[in-house]
Structures are given as structure tokens and as C-alpha cells.
Structure 1
């Protein structure tokens, strides 16, 4: 909004005495300036809205009065009592994120598609949180309904991008050769320079797995105070770099990564996400005043998936979000092995003491804060490896 307003004023002032006086408005043309503005706006908005939303959720009695899986498994002795802590705190993140992005970004197709996905997934998460509160149990929206909604959204995104002209351009150094690629049918591999053609079916499948997988992986990680949002901030920082470089012709050509026109505006979105996330962490750090809930986790995870697809780097998300992947794999392996061994021997066996993975370490005697900080460290290492793919190819 501010970009369009500033350009309108500059066009109006062109050729008049006001042109030189209003020249500072040209700053809004720079993505770096608008990124800083988006991050600060989202942070301040989160700080300002936080106490109000927490009080509102408490007044509505949107608190977690039912025991979660960790408490049922006997982990309550190692934790601060969390009963009554309001959930749906993701509303705070989503409001700050959407407002700040709309205020500072140019509204191109990439931004609009990302915002649509965030809105849909936040709505799905809100409905799920509300269902849990009304039932006062951990069972909210049926898993089948959630997956159908997520896969439908992801399929829409994949088909939409497939029908667009080739948006990704790889400019080879030392030659005038330009490799044009479709964001869906051509796949970029980490540590490999050239796009690999995978076809429509496989390409759409990758898009769906990126969006649905990341959405649910962040959701599974959201089990300890500050864990999911802290890891989200680290991964968001990685994609802040990737989106800026993907939208910058010279930087993309130098690093030999795909240049995607318009992707630079996703940098503003990522900056707003970082600001909103930092503001939320203020209230979500141990002991948490509010929980993110599915409202935030499904939306943030899905946002990473679609951003990765839009900059033609879906597999980099697997590296940058390595901790999210491990959390999701721990659940899949635990359930799969339990069912397999029960079928074969009549008695189900477990790989981990408890899944997701963070509860396994709690069971081993780690304090909640230890688990969170150590997961942060591992997440930073994953982020470093992801950033290394920019040059090692």
C-alpha cells in the first residue's frame, strides 16, 4: 500500500516544485527499506496487540483446560502447569503478518498467492482450535478433513503455477545462455546447478508435499513453549535471504540460482513473518502466556512451503526446516512401526519413548527449556547447511 501511495505522490509531484521535497519517497522503491519497515511494523503490532488478544482469549475462555498428550504420558511433573493458558495465539501472528505485508509489499501474484494460502490455513487452524476448545479434548477437526483441505489448496497452487509461463530463469555465467523453467514441471536440486525436468504429475506432487508437509510438520513441532516459533524464525531468516536473492537478477546470476521475477516481494513477506514471530515469542517463551495453536502453526508451515515453491527451491526447505522434518518423521515412524509390529507379533512396539521427537527427550529427563534451546541449535545448523547450497553447486 505504501509503495503504491508513494509512487502516486511522486507521479503527481513530477515536474513541480514539490518533486525535490518529496524525493525521499523514492526509498519505498527499495525492497530492503520495505523489508525493514515490514519487520518493525509487524513486531510493534505484535507487542501492542499481544496483551489485548491474550486478555480477549481469556475472557472467551479459549484456554486449554484439557490434558494434552504429554501430560497424559506423565510429563506434567517436569513442566509448569499449562492448564488455562489461552490457545489460538496464532491469530496474533497472522494479523500482524497480513497487515504488515499488505502495508509494505507490492501486491504481485506471488504475494497474493502466499497471502491466500496463509489465510486459508489459518482459517483451518482456527476452526480446529475452536473444535478442541468446545470438546475440551485434543481431538478437534477430523484428520481427514484437515488433509483434504490442505491438499486441495496445494493442488490449486500447483495447477495454477503449472499453467503460468516459465517464471524461473537460470543465467549461466560466462555465456548468454538462459535456461527457462516452469516452477512445477522442473525441479531444482540442492547442490546441483541445473533444473531437472520431472513432468506435471511429479511436479504437482512435490508442490503438494512441500505445502502440506511443512504445514503439518510445524504443527507437530508446536508442543513446547517457544519451540515452534523459535525454529520458525530461524527458517524464516533463511528464506529471507533466498527470496531476496531469487528476486535480484545480478545476485541470482552470480550465485547461479534461479531468478524469479517478482519473487523479491516475498522478502517483504518473510521480513513481516520475522517481525510477527519475534513479537509472538515475547509472549510464548517459557512459561508461555499464550499458545500458538493450529491457527498459527498450520499457516506458518504452509507459508514456508509455498514460498519455497515460488522461488523454485522446494527441496531447500527440507534442509532449512530439518528439525520440522525430524519431528514429522518421528511421528510417522512411531505410528508405522507400532502398527507393523502389532500386525506381526500381536504387540505394538515403539521406536521412541514418545513422539513427536521433543517429547522423547522430555521422557529421557531433559527439561523443557533444554529441549527447546538444543533444538534451536540444531535448527541453526540446518540453516547454515541450507545457506551453503547457495554457493556449493
Structure 2
């Protein structure tokens, strides 16, 4: 909305609204203060509605039963509301990429919200059917990828390989399989990571900041040519969405820091993961997402390996999955697991960014 003020004048202070960097900063501050202001009210309302809060796994660390019992979930509502308000206020709403990523984020958020609702009302870890949930996520992701194909462009259906300048594999219609897979996998990988206070939100912000930089560079013809990455017209505007996500995430972390006053829940983790996946697909850096989001990949793989091993051999590879619980069972304290995983996420983000210059 504020972007339109720049149309009123090409000179003076209003001209600042033309710059993506300025609006990304504005979106960050807006989302942060929105969550700070409304956060306590949302927590109080959710605590009143949910009563017993999110059910805690009885097979996990016993300390969780004592410290986390009764904590309300669906904290993703705080993040998404702040993100949406800031995006609508600061982004260029004529940019189709803005609406595509918001479609995925809100769609995944609604799926996660319903799953959280069932878990809270039934006081069980089982939400609605996993197959139906995946089908709904896939449908939303396919619509988003089809919209990207409709927008057109030289690399819309292409797969770029990191560290190799100019090499793009045209996936053709297979893009409608590969793109949705990346988005759905990203959403569920972040969802699996969300198991300890502050564990998911900081790596999400780190990955988001990384892709905000990539989106800004990919959307700039000069920078993308210099770095040898694919130029995606209009993708730079996604940096504003990322700024809003970081601001909302920082605000949420204030309330989610140990001991958490609220949990993100599937409402937030699915939505934010889907958002990251959609941005990666839009800027043609899907493989880089696997590097930057390597922590999420590790968490998801630990669950897959655990399930396959138990079904085939009856034995577990890890003491408990996802893998952050494995380290808790080894004796690491919750803060140790969380901070060390943050460090890993930061290191992987640096590796992901380095692929830009390696070209």
C-alpha cells in the first residue's frame, strides 16, 4: 500500500518507498511491533480457549511434561497476522509473486490450524489424516507453481544447479511435480523441527534472511548478471515478505523463548516452511534451499530413517526422532540443543550464500 505513495512523487521523502530495501526494513519493524503489541492478547485468548493447551508426548523427555504442560499452541497466528499486515502495508501489491507466496502461506497455515485444533480439542497427537493433509498441501503447491508458469519467463520451469553458471535444466511440465514437492517438503520439514522452545523460529529466520538476499539479487538485472544467477523479474519484491517474516519471527521469539509462553504449532511451522519453499522455487534456488535449510532436511531424514528402520528391522536408529529429541536423550539440555542447532543453521546459511559467488 505504502508503495503507491512513491507514485505521487519522484522526488523527496516519498521516493524512499520505491526502494525494496527501505520497504523490507519497514516491513520488519511493522511486523515486529505488531506481534509485540498484540502478542499478549493473542496468548491470553488462546490460553482461555484451549484450556489444557498442546498435548505433550509422554514418550519424550520427562522434563517436558513438567515445564511444557498447559502451554497454548497455534502461536503461528501471531506470526502470520503480523506478516500479512506488514506485507500488505509495505509490499508492491501489483507484484504477482507477493500473492503467490501469501496463497501458499495462508493455505498451509489453515491446514496447520485445523490440525492444531483437532489435537487440542481431542488432547491427542493425532490430527486429521496425514494423506488428506499432504494432498491438500500438494494441491495448494500445484496451484502456486501453475501460477508461476503462467507468469512465464526464461527460467520459469528451469532447474538451476548451484556453482555452475548458466546451466539450467528445463523441467517442462515436470515442474508441476518438482516445484510442489519442494514446497510441501519444506513445509513438513520445518514442521518436524518445531519441537523445542525457539528451535524452529530462529533457523526459519536465518533461512528467510538468506533467501531475502537471494530474491533481491535475482530480481535485479545488474546484480544477477554480475553473480551469474538467473534473473527473475519481480522476484526482488519477495525481500519485503521476508522482512515481514523476520520481524514477526523476532516478535514471536520474545514469547517463545524458554520457558515458552506459547508454541508455534502446525499453524506456524507448516505456513513458514511452505513460504520458504515457495520463495526458493520462485527464485530458482531449490537446491540451495536444501543447503540453507539443511537443518530441516536433517530433522526430516531422521524421522524417515527411524520409521523405515523400525518397520523393516524392528530396531530404532535414534533414541528418539526427530533428531533433536535424540540429543536430549543423550543428555544434552534443551538450551544446548537449541543453541547448537542455531549455530548449524547459521553455518549452513553461509555455505548456501557462498554458492552465489562460486559461479
TM-score by length of 1: 0.88
How big is each residue's C-alpha offset from its partner over 1:43-85, in whole Å with a ceiling of 9 and x where there is no partner? 11111111110011111125435332xxx22412377521111
Say how many residue pairs are matched: 358
Q: Distance in 2 between matches of 1:79 and 1:253?
A: 54
In 2, distance between residues paired with 1:191 and 1:104? 33
The question of whether the paired residues in 2 share the 8 Å contact of 1:233 and 1:274 is answered with yes
Go from structure 1 to structure 2 and tell me whether the alpha carbon gap of 1:256 and 1:54 turns closer, same or farther (over 3 Å shift).
same
Shift in CA distance, 47/268, structure 1 to aligned 2, threshold 3 Å: same
Question: 2:152 is matched with which residue: 165, 188, 197?
Answer: 165
Distance 2:167 2:49 in 1: 51
Query: Secondary structure of 1:389's partner?
Result: helix
- The runs of 5 or more residues in structure 2 that have no matched partner are none
Task: Check 1:62–1:106 CA distance in 2 against 1; reply closer, same or farther (3 A cut).
Answer: farther
Larger Rg: 1
Q: Which residue of 2 aligns with 1:103?
A: 89
CA RMSD of aligned residues (A): 1.5
Name 2:9's counterpart in structure 1. Answer: 10
Partner Cα distance (2:305, 2:51) in 1: 33
Aligned residue among 121, 124, 143 for 1:156: 143
Show structure 1 runs of 5+ residues with no match.
12-19, 167-179, 342-347
CA–CA distance in structure 2, aligned partners of residues 284 and 65 of structure 1:
14
Tell me by how many angstroms 1:201 deviates. Answer: 4.3
1:73 to 59, 62, 81: 59
Alpha-carbon separation, structure 2, partners of 1:273 and 1:160? 22
- What is the distance in 1 between the residues matched to 2:135 and 2:60? 33
Instruction: State the secondary structure of the residue aligned to 2:117.
Output: helix
CA distances 1:153-175 after superposition (whole Å, capped 9, x unpaired): 11222223234322xxxxxxxxx
For the pair 1:50 / 2:39, whether they are aligned, the reply is yes
User: Where is the helix percentage greater, Structure 1 or Structure 2?
Assistant: 2
1:338 paired residue number = 310
Task: Give the whole-Å Cα distance in 2 for the aligned partners of 1:379 and 1:80.
Answer: 29
Q: Does 2:145 align with 1:203?
A: no
User: Cα offset for 1:233?
Assistant: 1.1
Aligned to 1:376: 342
Partners of 1:322 and 1:94 lie apart in 2 by: 24
> Aligned in 2, Cα 1:63/1:92: closer, same or farther, shift over 3 Å?
farther
Bigger mean CA offset, 312-321 vs 195-204: 195-204
| Maintained 8 Å contact 1:79/1:368 | no
In 2, Cα distance between the equivalents of 1:109 and 1:327?
32
1:193-342 alignment runs, 5 A limit = 193-341=165-313
Task: Quote how far apart the aligned CAs of 1:230 are.
Answer: 1.1
Could you tell me which residue of structure 2 aligns to residue 169 of structure 1?
Answer: none
1:36 to 2:25 alignment: yes
